[in-house]
Amino acid sequence: VRVRMTVAYDGSGYHGFAPNPGVSTVGGALRDAIARVVRTPLAVTCAGRTDTGVHAWGQVVSFDAPADRFDPLMLQRSVNRLCGPAIAVREVREAPPGFDARRSATGRTYRYTVVNRPVPDPFLAHLAWHVDEPLDLDLLRLACDPLIGEHDFSAFCRRPRHRDGTEASLVRTVRHASWTDLGDGVLRFEITANAFCHQMIRSVVGLLVAIGA
């Protein structure tokens, strides 16, 4: 059966999501735990690979499991025992045969938190960027406007190449981008798009913060 799993994770101790021999990754740990539970080797597809230090609350993954060994509740509990608390399975359910976490995704949303005050917060240090220079929230919000819509974001990312040597398109459609003041100097940027380029989010946030400063 094709399985759809929604996971959350703290990426602090992992070298990103994508399985990578020799280093600890979220995808590698998740794949090994699932394979151990269903007792068969498998490949895990994710909606979007994340870099080192990136966390997730609603990362969707898909994989195939033997029908006679597929018990959603048992799978969720067992993987959480093996991977928790850094990785938590929030939901497990059977998906249509053609479902693919990456290709079936209709959009992705990223949140980036900025602690904007003179003194850093040790309890948010692994979740937020500390910027001690005062930021103008009105400027941050105005700077979001040009991001909305379909654009070539090549200025914000590394340009990948296809296996045949041709350059991949970096045109993406941003549907939403906004800043929220959470109080006590904590600002949250949220952006939703059909997809994102490699390291696009951190480049966008870096530019916006420079504008806000």
Q: Which residues are catalytic?
A: 51
Distance CA 212, CA 134 (A): 8
The full 3-state SS of 142-201, as one line of letters, equals: HCCHHHCEEEECHHHCCCCECCCCCECCCEEEEEEEEEEEEECCEEEEEEEECCCCCCHH
Tokens linked to 174: 């941003």
Phi then psi dihedrals of residue 94, to 5 deg = -75, 140
